[in-house]
Amino acid sequence: MTPQDGNLLRVSGLCKHFFGIRAVNDLNFGVAAGSITGLIGPNGSGKTTSIDCLSGFQRPDTGKVVFDGADIFGLPPQRVAKCGLVRTFQNVRVYDALTVSENLVIAQQEHGRGMRWRDVLFRPQRIRRQDDAARERAQALLELVGLSHHIASPAGVLSYGQKKLLALAGGLMASPKLMVLDEPLAGVNPTVIRRIEGIVHEVNRQGVTFLIVEHNMTFIMNHCNAIVVMDAGSKLAEGSPDVISSDARVLDAYLGKRPIAEASHG
């Protein structure tokens, strides 16, 4: 059930520091159910740390994270994923020695059923015993991302862009409600960019909400219906692409003038 305010995800007062660095500093924002929300900001503004904290890959210091009506603050990644919040990584993570379809089955187990590294290393037969439902879902997702002809290839033969598509399909194996993507377009060619755009829209049409960290402004402005801008660990602005593109503070943050962020440095 969607919470009353229409937000599938609501982040309030989120803080995370590393030694002296306040990577995330009193961050507040929401992700509307059904939206494609962009999370942008200069390098080092705290985007990755924020989604690490939401998805359980970093333990946040303080704040509140409510997802689909449940308090998920500080939960470990697998528990967060079981609630329906799944993320991909800035640096693509696939198992090169396993086949494309095996990667998808593992991704589903990692997100949903407690598969760990030691299973991958010591119990490969457990991974290979794919149940029919997982195999069918994997096949459908590989068709969606355009990798079905590679189903039996080791993931190691894929190009970087194809590995990103595989990682995206891996996240979708867990049937998320919210898919969080960290720089999905970084380092991929225009053909793969167009494919990822198509996949995001198709999956969104099927009811999945997206939160996307991305530096490609053409993508953000053309494909997101809401944008959150971070600077120095906090939210600088939030709104539609039209509102954000005409906000002088956003341009200033990207140009490095940082008139507002200055005050929040500790």
Ligand X SMILES: Nc1ncnc2c1ncn2[C@@H]1O[C@H](COP(=O)(O)OP(=O)(O)O)[C@@H](O)[C@H]1O
Q: Which residues bind Mg ion (CB under 5 A)?
A: 48
Nearer to ligand X, 104 or 185 (CB): 185
74-78 contacts, C-beta under 8 A, 24 or more apart: 78/110, 78/111, 78/112, 78/114
From Mg ion, ligand X, none, interface partner of 258 (C-beta below 5 to 8 A by class)? none
Which of 23, 138, 179, 232 binds ligand X (CB under 6 A)? It is: 23
Distance of alpha carbon 14 from alpha carbon 73, whole angstroms: 9
Would you call 49 helix, strand, or coil by DSSP?
helix
From Mg ion, ligand X, none, interface partner of 122 (C-beta below 5 to 8 A by class)? none
Query: What is the smallest separation between the CB atom of 133 and Mg ion, expressed in angstroms?
Result: 34
Query: What is the smallest separation between the CB atom of 60 and ligand X, expressed in angstroms?
Result: 12
Distance of alpha carbon 130 from alpha carbon 134, whole angstroms: 7
From ligand X, Mg ion, none, interface partner of 18 (C-beta below 5 to 8 A by class)? ligand X
DSSP H stretches of helix in the chain: 47-55, 77-83, 100-112, 117-122, 124-128, 132-145, 160-172, 190-205, 217-223, 241-245, 248-255
The token pair that represents 152 in the structure block: 């039996």
Burial class (CB in 10 A: 0-12, 13-18, 19+), 208: buried
Nearer to ligand X, 37 or 49 (CB): 49
Distance of alpha carbon 111 from alpha carbon 248, whole angstroms: 40
Query: What is the smallest separation between the CB atom of 24 and ligand X, expressed in angstroms?
Result: 7
Closest CA to 222 of 196, 186, 248: 196
Closest CA to 240 of 35, 51, 99: 35
From Mg ion, ligand X, none, interface partner of 37 (C-beta below 5 to 8 A by class)? none
Interface mask (CB under 6 A) for ligand X, residues 39-78, using x and -?
--x-xxxxxxx-----------------------------
Count of positions on this chain that bind ligand X (CB under 6 A):
11
Nearer to Mg ion, 52 or 102 (CB): 52
From Mg ion, ligand X, none, interface partner of 160 (C-beta below 5 to 8 A by class)? none
Query: What is the smallest separation between the CB atom of 47 and ligand X, expressed in angstroms?
Result: 3
Q: Is 4 near ligand X (CB under 6 A)?
A: no
Taking 3-state DSSP, the helix, strand and coil percentages for the chain, each rounded to the nearest 5, stand at 40, 25, 35
From ligand X, Mg ion, none, interface partner of 45 (C-beta below 5 to 8 A by class)? ligand X
Angle between helices 160-172 and 190-205 (to 10 degrees): 10
Which of 5, 6, 18, 159 binds ligand X (CB under 6 A)? It is: 18
Query: What is the smallest separation between the CB atom of 205 and ligand X, expressed in angstroms?
Result: 28
Q: Please give the residue ranges that form the binding site for ligand X (CB under 6 A).
A: 18, 21, 23, 41, 43-49
